[in-house]
Structure 1
Amino acid sequence: MAVSPSSSAQQARQALANRLAELCRDAGLTGRDIARLCSWHPSKSSRIMNARTPPSADDIRAWCRACGSEDQTEDLLASLRTAEGMWVGWRRMERAGLKQAQEARLPLFERTRRFRAYSSWFVPGLIQTYGYTEAVLRAVQRRRVEVDDVADAVAVRMERQRVLYKGDRRFAFLVEESVLRNGLGGAEVQEEQLRHLLTVGSLPSVSLGVVPTRTERSRMPVEGFWIFDTAQVNVELVSGYLTLTQPGEVAAYADTFRELADMAVYGAKARALITSVIQTLR
């Protein structure tokens, strides 16, 4: 189980450790007893019960057998998967290809009604063009994914964009001005993407803000993140994908979004900024 700085992930690990410790106590065993019955080093069971060492699936199966609680195995394995899912390295998430990683996120997008997205790297996926998405995913595939299913992954992301036009949903997108100038995919792809931003930004359900490049600012650029309603935040880091569900963590990202939004330009000013970048591409 990968370790992340998230208190959501840590709380999930601690909850699993507490349940394993409870099974041990209910069986009248000590940590040393568990280690002996499982043929482990004596300190391993203590580390697991104190959430210092995450258990593997095989560890949980052995623990339940030692406690005579094999009926608890599947439930505990589900808890393990939940804790692991809060922090997922890119290589693990994308080991079967990019299409599967894109499909896994679709249910979250379909059940969300209020979206907030901030990006300091790329245009957010929901408002990307086909060519821009292809350039993004091709760069990802070349860097870290052995399976080449970029075309299928692009199709999944394009299909996901239907949420922009269905149901009573609200969208707030914030991008740094540098995102407009990142050169991804070349001038033709960039111009198409910027013109698409002008179109999407005019939708009644969409708020599109651009944070201008300034010599002085109250909030520096941060990692890209999505806020789904008030229930969950997903953060894309260099090393992996972080899921946050603790109210305090969600609130912290909501506050950050609000601060960045206060620095952004909208409407005519945003369109003028985007148009000026289009003109430089020519």
Structure 2
Amino acid sequence: MSTDFQSGREALGARLGELRAETGLNGKEFAGLLGWQRSKVSRLQNGRQTASPADLEAWAAAAGRPDAAADLLARLRGLESQQRHWRRQLAAGDAPVQDRYVMEYRRTTTMRGYEPTVVPGLFQTPDYARHLMAQNAELMCSPRDTEAAVQARMRRQEVLYEAGKLFRVLVWEGALHAVVGGRQVMAGQLDRLVGLIGMSTVELGVVPLGALMRVTPKHGFWIFDEQRVVVETINTELQYDSADDLALYGRVWDRLHAAAVSGPQAHRLIARARAVVAAA
């Protein structure tokens, strides 16, 4: 969880604590008024749990301050769309960001992801990753630590070989045809994808260009252990952990998965892209 996100949750908890204190009730008494366990009041006040909109409305009513509900809900909306701007994250280069991802992936047991424009970092070859990171450093005007960042991204891939992990990843077929780093780099990257098919920890699906879609692809996203969604835009990384957002992104992934192909069919789509690269 990001420091910015946790700081925001703690600030919301502090405001809840102020409202409770105004009632003159202690945590146990306030929990009884709400019909909750005392531990829930403690977790919310200390920023160890994210409140739901219903929790905040109930809290404001119990505190005798229904007028405070709007402010609490606004704070929650800001928290749920917590942003980590890339310019700030990349101030010290790409390698520290990749190292953070290494730790996050090691803590994750099951992941569902979708990428519409590039091969996911979890599956990238060093050459493919190197070109992407060099391009990004130039675009973001960030320090050039490309080799260290590539090494960190390769360390992230060690989780693919850990028993008990499962990475369910969907890739838009167009990403297989977007040439990164030239013909030889793309050929090696596509060969790498073929080698992942059949791994016990990987479920790789390709959404064909001509598939009948129940939802249109918009941007990539990753669901970590059904507890947190990470969305990357050009300038920002967004994190969501509300039940509504998790359910929404889960439904989007399910619909994309229904349109995707895997196994031999995915192999054929990758081979088709490989043939186009070879003929270029």
Q: If the length of structure 2 is used for normalisation, what is the TM-score? A: 0.73
Stretch of structure 1 that moved more, 84-93 or 101-110: 84-93
Q: Distance in 1 between matches of 2:189 and 2:9?
A: 40
Q: Which residue of 1 aligns with 2:9?
A: 12
Residue 160 in 1 paired to residue 156 in 2? yes
Distance 2:151 2:105 in 1: 16
- Given residue 225 of structure 2, which amino acid in structure 1 is its aligned partner? D
2:178 is aligned with 1:182: yes
Alignment of 1:100-249 (within 5 A): 100-214=96-210, 217-249=213-245
Within-5 A mapping of 1:21-170: 21-22=18-19, 50=71, 86-170=82-166
Greater shift, 211-220 or 181-190, is seen at 211-220
CA distance in 1, matches of 2:74, 2:230: 25
C-alpha distance in 2, partners of 1:53/1:20? 17
CA RMSD of aligned residues (A): 3.0
- Cα distance in 2 for partners of 1:84, 1:253 equals 14
Counting matched residue pairs gives: 227
Task: Say whether the 8 Å CA contact 1:13–1:83 is kept in structure 2.
Answer: no
- Show CA shifts across 1:222-253 (max 9, x none): 21111111111111112300111112211211
Residue 277 of structure 2 aligns to which amino acid in structure 1?
A: L
Distance 1:104 1:123 in 2: 20
Tell me which amino acid in the other structure corresponds to 1:104.
Answer: R
Q: SS of the counterpart of 1:105?
A: helix
Name the structure 2 match of 1:251. Answer: 247
| Alpha-carbon distance, 1:166 to partner | 1.3
Q: Give % identity.
A: 29
Q: Aligned AA for 2:150?
A: V
Q: 1:232 to 1:154 in 2, by over 3 A?
A: same
* 1:100 aligned partner, one-letter code: P
Distance, in Å, in 2 between the alignment partners of 1:257 and 1:116 is 8
Deviation at 1:169, TM superposition (A): 0.8
After superposing the two structures, state which structure 1 stretch, 213-222 or 136-145, moved more: 213-222
Give the residue type in structure 1 aligned to 2:12: A
Q: Give the whole-Å Cα distance in 2 for the aligned partners of 1:172 and 1:144.
A: 30
Structure 2 gaps, min length 5: 24-69
Distance, in Å, in 1 between the alignment partners of 2:132 and 2:202 is: 23
With the length of structure 1 as denominator, give the TM-score of the two structures.
0.72
